[in-house]
Amino acid sequence: MNQGMKLTDYVIDYLHSRGTTHVFGMSGGAAVHLFDSAAKHPGVGTTFVAHEQSAAMAADGYYRVSGRMGACIVTSGPGATNLLTGVCCSYYDSVPALMLTGQVATHRLKGERKVRQVGFQETDTLSIYSSVTKYAEQLRDPNQIASVLDSAFAEAEAGRPGPVLVDIPDDLQRARLDTAALPRYVAPAQARTRGLTAQVQSLLKQISASKRPVIVLGGGLSTPRQAGELREFLKNVEVPLLQTWAGLDLIPHDWKHRVGTFGVYGSRLGNFVIQHADLVVCLGTRLSQNLTGGMLSTFASKARIVMVDADQGEMDKFDGHGIEIAERIHCLMGDFLDTAKVAVKQFVAPDIRPWLATIERWRAELPDDIPIEPADEAGFVDAHHFVRQLSDVLADDEIVFIDTGGNLTWTCNNLRVKPGQRVLSAWNFTPMGYAVPAGIGGAAAAPGRPITCITGDGGLQLCLGELATVVRHQLPIKIVLFNNHSHGIQKQTLETWLDGNYAGVDPASGLGLSDFHSVARAMGLSVVNISRSSEVAPRLKEAYAIPGPVFCNVEINPNQKLYPVLKSGAPLENQMPLMPSDQIDALRAVLTTSKDPDNVG
């Protein structure tokens, strides 16, 4: 029978009808029909990457930028398993993504037989992915394709979002469908949390009654993205704001009462603020250990903590573990902001002038941990100063993807975010080698929009092949390499815990790195080198004036530290380099002496 629509054509059409305009992946025996259909579809683009891991990261970046589901197509076996690290990025950061994996033909599936494989490259993809997807299903009947895709999309987007996987045996990919007769799955409408209005009103009253409130903005406000609605809310509820790294781009750098980051690698000011607040309102943050530090009982211990989250488990997990979550509002963040929009009309602003005055004193008196800029002949630049100058050249609508390690820390702590910019990373899974592949996905999601991918030399080594993808498509990506010729963050860990006994963290201790600027040039990129403090601004200007992809090799001091940082076992307000205890006591005392600035004396 050769009538009806080919199943893979239906799949691609379906994706298109749901707003997915792009697929990422690599060909292979069990994926050729899917790609054949994708390549023929006028509304769906394809990006073939150098490694399937990058495809999953690209799909992840695609969603973060556009809010539309990213999709991957890969072959069975190694194609499918290579997706894993990228899928984990989406799972732990609540990013919807659809993995379409090819599989051996149904008559070659091993089924219950006591063997490892029957079909060539046969792999039990579903069980591998079951713990890091919200839905993983193998198509067994071609007529179920519509309902399987309906379920996959519904699951990916429902509640706390996440990735899904559909495994399609090769023979079924070629099946012909009577598309009008396909059964469908209609997901139940997501009911709004009952009693939400009363909970939101009560929360606003608690803010009105507090003396030292803070609101923490987390990544849950970005998946799906609620920045516009959030900013409206915050214009009506003006209290000090703390940000998790995943919440960095929710408000611009100069937003009223913005304090900034807190946590293990966060700012000292942020840590002082959360440790002395009397009310902490967490919006879409799970309060990861990187935020609380290891000593949970000392975290925000003077505060009543309220969490608003789409995942009840994230709010209950502290029970019996040292942090008391006084109030839990379980709802979608969109529903919270919708409800709050009405409720804020009755909001009475608290008098927090003494609290604001205290925060300003702390801001002025806490160490900023910014090293002085190295002399020009040092051969490298300071990472903090570099990021501040990078902020000056980024476009108003720049999308910044960041990798992991020192480069992530220095960037998050120093970038001055503008209102239309995005700042993205795989916040919770933090694999090396994310930024460039995710940037490729971002470029497909928002064609023409300027993208900067910040990466370390260690991270770039893991996705070096993707430079070819960037060049092939002439993507408008500026790759900014923080080249400290080492795994900088790991060096510091070994210094802190193992007396600096380096193992596999730089060439001297056994790590092979590349001559990255030569490699980038050989792969066809324009290369700009930066190694002198005085040249940072002009060279950056030069690099950003070049249209299309550019590789910017920035020499960073191999001994540059990630400061401030919390050593495990210490309370949040005393990061390394440690402050003398009398200095901490004096800063704490500001709290009791600060008065309303209008009434001082």
Ligand X SMILES: Cc1ncc(C[n+]2csc(CCOP(=O)(O)OP(=O)(O)O)c2C)c(N)n1
Q: Give the binding site for Mg ion (CB under 5 A).
A: 456-458, 484, 488
Dihedral-angle region of residue 195 (phi above 0 means left; psi in -120 to 50 means alpha; beta otherwise): left
Query: Among 76, 103, 199, 490, which residue sits at the site for ligand X (rule: CB under 6 A)?
Result: 490
CB 56 within 8 A of CB 85: yes
487 near ligand X, judged by CB under 6 A: yes
Query: Among 10, 386, 482, 551, which residue sits at the site for ligand X (rule: CB under 6 A)?
Result: 482
Residues 244-283, one symbol each (x = binds ligand X by CB under 6 A, - = not), give ----------------------------------------
Antiparallel, parallel or unpaired: β 5-6 and 176-177: antiparallel
Nearer Cβ to ligand X, position 279 or 463? 463
Nearer Cβ to Mg ion, position 210 or 484? 484
Nearer Cβ to ligand X, position 102 or 263? 263
CB 464 within 8 A of CB 517: no
Give the 3-state secondary structure of residue 224. coil
* Partner whose binding site includes residue 288, from Mg ion, ligand X, none (CB under 5 to 8 Å by kind): none
Antiparallel, parallel or unpaired: β 213-217 and 399-402: unpaired
Interacting stretch for ligand X, rule CB under 6 A, among 60-68, 75-83, 216-224, 404-412? 404-412
531 near ligand X, judged by CB under 6 A: no
- Give me the least distance between CB of 430 and ligand X, in Å please: 5
- End-to-end distance of the chain based on CA atoms, in angstroms? 91
Interacting stretch for ligand X, rule CB under 6 A, among 27-35, 239-247, 351-359, 402-410? 402-410
564 near ligand X, judged by CB under 6 A: no
Q: Could you tell me which residues come within 8 angstroms of residue 419 by beta carbon, excluding any fewer than 6 positions away?
A: 252, 396
Residue 448: exposure state from Cβ atoms within 10 A (0-12, 13-18, ≥19): exposed
Q: Which helix (H) or strand (E) holds 475?
A: none
**Rounded to an integer, what distance in angstroms lies between the CA atom of residue 384 and that of residue 477?**
22
Residue 42 in tokens: 């006028």
404 near ligand X, judged by CB under 6 A: yes
Query: Among 430, 509, 526, 529, which residue sits at the site for ligand X (rule: CB under 6 A)?
Result: 430
* Partner whose binding site includes residue 476, from ligand X, Mg ion, none (CB under 5 to 8 Å by kind): none
**CA distance to 47, 75, 170, per residue, from 22 (Å):** 8, 17, 22
- Helix, strand and coil content of the chain, in percent to the nearest 5, comes to 45, 15, 40
CB 564 within 8 A of CB 369: yes
Report which residue's Cβ sits closest to ligand X: 456
Query: Among 61, 96, 266, 456, which residue sits at the site for ligand X (rule: CB under 6 A)?
Result: 456
* Partner whose binding site includes residue 420, from ligand X, Mg ion, none (CB under 5 to 8 Å by kind): none
**Rounded to an integer, what distance in angstroms lies between the CA atom of residue 296 and that of residue 575?**
15
Query: Among 458, 476, 549, 564, which residue sits at the site for ligand X (rule: CB under 6 A)?
Result: 458
Antiparallel, parallel or unpaired: β 45-48 and 22-25: parallel
* Partner whose binding site includes residue 489, from ligand X, Mg ion, none (CB under 5 to 8 Å by kind): ligand X
Query: Among 459, 476, 549, 564, which residue sits at the site for ligand X (rule: CB under 6 A)?
Result: 459
Nearer Cβ to ligand X, position 10 or 482? 482
- Give me the least distance between CB of 486 and ligand X, in Å please: 6
CB 217 within 8 A of CB 247: yes
Residue 427 in tokens: 């916040």
CB 56 within 8 A of CB 72: yes
Nearer Cβ to Mg ion, position 33 or 487? 487
89 near ligand X, judged by CB under 6 A: no
431 near ligand X, judged by CB under 6 A: yes
* Partner whose binding site includes residue 137, from ligand X, Mg ion, none (CB under 5 to 8 Å by kind): none
Nearer Cβ to Mg ion, position 79 or 458? 458
387 near ligand X, judged by CB under 6 A: no
* Partner whose binding site includes residue 305, from Mg ion, ligand X, none (CB under 5 to 8 Å by kind): none
The residue among 251, 307, 295 whose CA lies nearest residue 271 is 295
Nearer Cβ to ligand X, position 75 or 484? 484
- Give me the least distance between CB of 181 and Mg ion, in Å please: 57
Nearer Cβ to ligand X, position 57 or 477? 57
406 near ligand X, judged by CB under 6 A: yes
Nearer Cβ to ligand X, position 226 or 261? 261
Q: How many chain residues bind ligand X (CB under 6 A)?
A: 19
Give the 3-state secondary structure of residue 168. strand
484 near ligand X, judged by CB under 6 A: yes
Neighbours of 425 (CB within 10 A): 28
The residue among 308, 302, 358, 303 whose CA lies nearest residue 330 is 308
Give residue for tokens 């080698």: 433
Residue 277 in tokens: 């607040």
Name the residues that contact ligand X, by CB under 6 A: 403-407, 430-432, 456-459, 482, 484, 486-490
